[in-house]
Each structure stands twice: as C-alpha cells, then as structure tokens.
Chain A
Amino acid sequence: NAGVTQTPKFRVLKTGQSMTLLCAQDMNHEYMYWYRQDPGMGLRLIHYSVGEGTTAKGEVPDGYNVSRLKKQNFLLGLESAAPSQTSVYFCASSTPYGLADTDTQYFGPGTRLTVL
C-alpha cells in the first residue's frame, strides 16, 4: 500500500514549456487535490476533484488544468509554464465521512518544479 505517489519528484522547465504532473493513490479515495507551496509559505489549493470525471477550481486555478479520468489518478497540467509557477506541488486524497466534511487528507511527497 503506497498511499499517495507523485511523478516526477523534480523538474526544471523553460518559460512557455508544458508539462503534466501525475498523482496516484491506492486507497480508493473519492476526493483528490492539488496544492502549491511557495518557499516559506502555506499550501494553496489549485484544483480538486470529488470523484472520477469531475473537477473544480480552488483558490489559485489560473494557469493550470486538471483531469480525473480514473478514480486513482489526478493529473495537473501546465500548458505554458511561467516563472511564477516555480513551487512545490503536493497532491492529496481523502474520502468523505457521512454528511460531515472531515477532509482528512493524505499527502504525497511533492514535486519540486522550477521554471526558468
């Protein structure tokens, strides 16, 4: 049981290049999330998904797209990378509990992205 895994661990891009970050979870969780964390800062929600085939915008969605074609995978895409997108990207997953919003999220190890 690997939990939440992220690919790749590190990446360097030039401005204008595109890339896709992959998140995979083996806990059969319904919800998945993408966050970014800038140096010395907290986590900010980019996009999230409450189930296969659904996605929604978070706090900072501009410049990113996501897809949830399979329940266990959540992809984050950068179509035209900018230096402002240099950050560490964390994926997380969780499962709803009854009617309450518990959001006990399990995080991956992160992807460190640098855009030159």
Chain B
Amino acid sequence: LAKTTQPISMDSYEGQEVNITCSHNNIATNDYITWYQQFPSQGPRFIIQGYKTKVTNEVASLFIPADRKSSTLSLPRVSLSDTAVYYCLVGVLEDTGRRALTFGSGTRLQVQP
C-alpha cells in the first residue's frame, strides 16, 4: 500500500489556478505536511508547510481537511516558470509503528502559454 500518492502529471495554461492533491492515509499525529518544487538538475525547494486547515504564503496555499489524510497545494495564476515537479513530504506510520519520512512520487506540472 502506497504511503503517499499524487497524480503523475497535470497540464495547465498561464493564468489558471492549479490544485495538486496528495493522499497520506497514515500520516503521523505530530507531522506537518510540506510541499516542495523541483526543477530539472536541481534539488527540491520548499514551497509551503501546514498542520491543519489552511495556510497561505506569497506563492501558494495549502488546504488540509480535518482528518489530515490528504492535502491540496493550490498555485494561483500559474506562469510558465511554474513548470516543475511538485512533491509532498509527510511522516507516515508503518505497520511496525515506526515513523517513516516519505516523499510523494511527485506531480509533473506543465504550464502552456
């Protein structure tokens, strides 16, 4: 059973809002949910982080439902420079009770003019 799941890819046009969801059914109690952006040949870069409800910063919003089993990264009015791979990162509880830090498989966002 996958620890975290994300859509493989998404397409959008400039100026549109993009929502990317990550499912994490076994998120650990104290864990925050963090999203990263990665461009080719670079390391991931922090975008936003939250524990519950809604968090907003200058580049994105993060929506987390009450059960915290999923989270949605919202990018308002995307531009061509937002073309990248987006990852969620959470700590999940394994069957052994151990907390395992796990990146999602990544969502490749392609923004068209």
Contact = CB atoms under 8 A, between A and B. Distances in A.
Interface of A: 4, 33, 35, 41-45, 48, 58-59, 90, 92, 99-110
B20 interface: no
B45 to A, nearest CB: 7
Interface of B: 28, 30-32, 34, 36, 41-46, 49, 51, 87, 89, 91, 99-106
Contacts of A100: 30-32, 51
A100 B100 CA distance: 15
B34 A110 contact: no
Given A100-B32, A110-B41, A45 B101 contact: yes
A96 to B, nearest CB: 11
Contacts, number: 64
Given A108-B43, A110-B41, A110-B43, A101 B28 contact: yes
A90 B104 CA distance: 16
B105 A107 contact: no
A110 B38 CA distance: 12
A8 to B, nearest CB: 15
Given A43-B103, A59-B100, A92-B43, 17 more contacts: A4-B43, A41-B106, A42-B87, A42-B106, A45-B101, A58-B100, A59-B102, A101-B28, A101-B32, A101-B99, A104-B34, A104-B49, A105-B44, A105-B46, A107-B44, A109-B42, A110-B41
A33 B102 CA distance: 12
Nearest to B31: A101
Nearest to A112: B41
Contacts of B43: 4, 90, 92, 107-110
